[in-house]
């Protein structure tokens, strides 16, 4: 068989499309496995390990159905690390943008406004999350009560009402960014997300 330039180009396009399709299917399968694992653990949130416990978010959400905790050692002062975490651009990673775009498409959500801040903490507070507590340079606890399965998510709650809110058909979400110093220029940066009803 003789290959022409157009045949080669077509085969190359097919290979690229197949590779992109396989990569997309892999990403969807990976995300699906992550969701399934969390669904199976729903209602049996893991207790904190020694050193993980944090009384500040306990004031607002002592019981929860799902929890996700992460920690990493950083060679920088705690205040610097916490400030950098609050200024991260949440839309940076491609996978994050893809998941958000897929959710928006599936739920027919209105598009994000372009004038919203790009840094994580200013963005979240601009759309309705509330800072529940803060230890300057060390920790921030934020929370929201919402219905995340809706396309147009609204946050109807003021931060002061968060702890006592208990209406059905809403989800409470609290997350913490915390930097624990271990010496003059090192810290353990921790994040924790709690979800419950």
Measure CA 153 to chain center.
Answer: 15
**Mean pLDDT of all residues belonging to the chain:** 76
Residues 25 and 55 in one domain: no
Q: Does 7 share its domain with 89? A: no
Together in a domain, 86 and 132: yes
Q: What is the pLDDT of residues 35-68, one digit of tens each?
A: 555 555 555 567 767 777 888 999 999 989 989 9
Whose structure tokens read 């110093």? 181
CATH of the domain at 181: 3.30.310
User: What global pTM score does this model have?
Assistant: 0.68
In a shared domain, residues 167 and 144: yes
Both tokens of residue 136?
A: 């300057």
Query: Do 124 and 176 belong to one domain?
Result: yes
Kindly state whether residues 19 and 96 are assigned to the same domain. Answer: no
The band of 169, judged by pLDDT with boundaries at 50, 70 and 90, is confident
What is the residue range of 176's domain?
47-196
Any alpha helices (H) in 59-145, and if so which ranges? 78-86, 94-107, 120-126
Give the number of other Cβ atoms within 10 Å of residue 147's Cβ.
13
- Residue that wins the pLDDT comparison between 23 and 132: 132
The H-or-E segment that residue 66 falls in is strand 66-74
Residues 79 and 18 both lie in one domain: no
**Domain count along the chain:** 2
Cβ pair 77, 182 in contact under 8 A: no
d(CA 120, CA 36): 27
pLDDT band at 166 (very low <50, low <70, confident <90, very high): confident
Q: Per residue in 100-156, pLDDT tens? A: 666 566 656 666 666 777 788 888 887 778 899 999 999 999 988 888 777 666 666
């Amino acid at each position: 068989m003789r290959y022409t330039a157009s045949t080669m180009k077509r085969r190359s396009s097919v290979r690229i499309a197949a590779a992109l399709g396989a990569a997309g299917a892999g990403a969807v399968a990976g995300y699906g496995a992550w969701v399934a694992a969390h669904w199976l653990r729903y209602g049996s949130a893991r207790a904190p390990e020694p050193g993980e416990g944090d009384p500040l978010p306990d004031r607002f959400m002592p019981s929860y159905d799902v929890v996700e905790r992460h920690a990493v050692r950083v060679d920088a002062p705690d205040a610097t690390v916490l400030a950098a975490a609050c200024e991260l651009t949440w839309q940076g990673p491609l996978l994050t943008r893809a998941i958000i775009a897929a959710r928006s498409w599936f739920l027919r959500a209105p598009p994000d406004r372009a004038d919203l801040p790009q840094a994580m903490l200013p963005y979240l507070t601009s759309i309705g999350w509330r800072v529940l507590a803060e230890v300057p340079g060390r920790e921030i606890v934020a929370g929201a009560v919402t219905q995340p399965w809706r396309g147009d998510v609204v946050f109807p709650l003021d931060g002061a009402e968060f702890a006592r809110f208990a209406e059905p058909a809403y989800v409470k979400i609290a997350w913490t960014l915390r930097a624990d110093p271990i010496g003059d220029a090192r810290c353990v940066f921790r994040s924790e997300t709690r979800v419950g009803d």
